[in-house]
Amino acid sequence: MKALVLTEYNKFDYLDVPTPTPGTGEVLIKVKACAVCGSDVHGMDGSSGRRQPPDIMGHEASGQIEAVGPGVEGWSVGDRVTFDSTVYCNQCDACLAGNVNLCTNRQVLGVSCDDYRRDGAFADYLVVPAYICYRLPDEVSYVQAAMVEPLAIAYHAATRTPVKPGMSAVIVGVGTIGLLTLQVVKAMGAGPIIAVDIDDAKLATALDNGADAVINSAAPDALARLLAATPGGKGVDIAFDATGIEATVDLSVRSVKLDGSVVLIGNLAQHIGFPLQWVVTRQISLFGTCASAGEYNECLQLIADGKVDVEALISKSVPLSAGHEWITRVYNREPGLNKIVLLPEVEEVVA
């Protein structure tokens, strides 16, 4: 089979590699579409330490079951599926409690690090445990399904503290996860929703994706303008920080009303200064959120029902063979490029 392999840092080669064989409890998937995650883009230069060459990246994908290994029940050749990015053990305390995202033995598809190596979906075929697969509704295309993994991260964040109809919200940082979080909370009935970023182009995209107001956080009066856009000027019910640096966390905390909630999604910084007294004296609740915990079916239904438009975030669908060019263009921050989807069976750019 063909695969896009990170053969050295900052270099992908389109190579012939052995086709994997499914073992007990596993299925072989013919990959139809694989979206490029920001962690893949950042991982290609070696800075994360989690994409060590040679590596077949890719964990946001969909496809068709090509073969079924021994002991697999409920799945057949030809089934259309997507799958979790995480292979969890189903045995540790976290898994048994339903927190598979916190599995102590978790492995992520497409990651090669000091602890483990697991091939990903930048390839014609991929083997995964059958228990991480999810069946696609007829209304959901393979390209749409390749976006379910990041959508599930957004959905998990939105359900860390319940979003109820009529709740006001702010999304700080409107990259892919921030935009999907915006769409999810809007589908849950939240409003008004305010989007915050330092990039006017991203703010324009946020308006296209359902934001009621946008604020450029580079403005010296950004917090005042944000609060003025909230109901009664008292702050929002819930803030989502999809960036994860000191400035965005501080803005998120100060944007919520008394007894409000802040969900921390982004984690660009390992350590930050923190407005402790503000949080304590205003009784603000803080929630961390990590990846997703099996919410794929709910997300597939949101797409099928037309409540979330994942295709609005896709800039290009391109051949897998052209992966090096397009991932490098995203890495170089080419204007206008957001999400790229790689298609193993396609020879020309289709979107």
Q: How far apart are CA 134 and CA 81, in angstroms?
A: 5
pLDDT band at residue 351, thresholds of 50, 70 and 90? low
Residue from 43, 235, 33, 252 nearest 136 by CA: 33
Bond preceding residue 54 cis, omega within 30 of 0 = yes
Q: Which distant-in-sequence residues (6+ apart) come within 8 Å of 93 by Cβ? A: 104
What number is the average pLDDT over the span 62-76?
98
Q: How far apart are CA 121 and CA 301, in angstroms?
A: 23
pLDDT of residue 350: 64
Place of tokens 């080669």: 13
Identify the CATH number of the domain defined by range 161-288.
Answer: 3.40.50.720
Name the DSSP letter for residue 130: G
pTM of the predicted protein model = 0.95
pLDDT of residue 120 exceeding 60, the answer is yes
pLDDT band at residue 285, thresholds of 50, 70 and 90? very high
For the chain, first and last CA: distance in Å?
Answer: 25
What number is the average pLDDT over the span 264-280?
94
The CATH homologous superfamily for domain 2-148+293-343 is Medium-chain alcohol dehydrogenases, catalytic domain (3.90.180.10)
pLDDT in tens, 294-336: 999 999 999 999 999 999 999 999 999 999 999 999 999 998 8
What number is the average pLDDT over the span 186-206?
97
State phi, psi for 135 to the nearest 5 degrees.
-75, 140
Task: Evaluate whether 239 touches 170 at the Cβ level (below 8 Å).
Answer: yes
258: which 2 tokens?
A: 């008394």
- Alpha carbon separation from 28 to 89, 218, 327 (Å, rounded): 19, 48, 26
Question: Where in the chain are the domains?
Answer: 2-148+293-343, 161-288
pLDDT band at residue 112, thresholds of 50, 70 and 90? very high
Cα 193 to chain centroid, rounded:
20
Q: Which distant-in-sequence residues (6+ apart) come within 8 Å of 75 by Cβ? A: 27, 65, 68, 81, 130, 133
pLDDT in tens, 8-29: 999 999 999 999 999 999 999 9
Bond preceding residue 192 cis, omega within 30 of 0 = yes
**% residues pLDDT > 70 (the chain):** 99
Task: Evaluate whether 33 touches 65 at the Cβ level (below 8 Å).
Answer: no
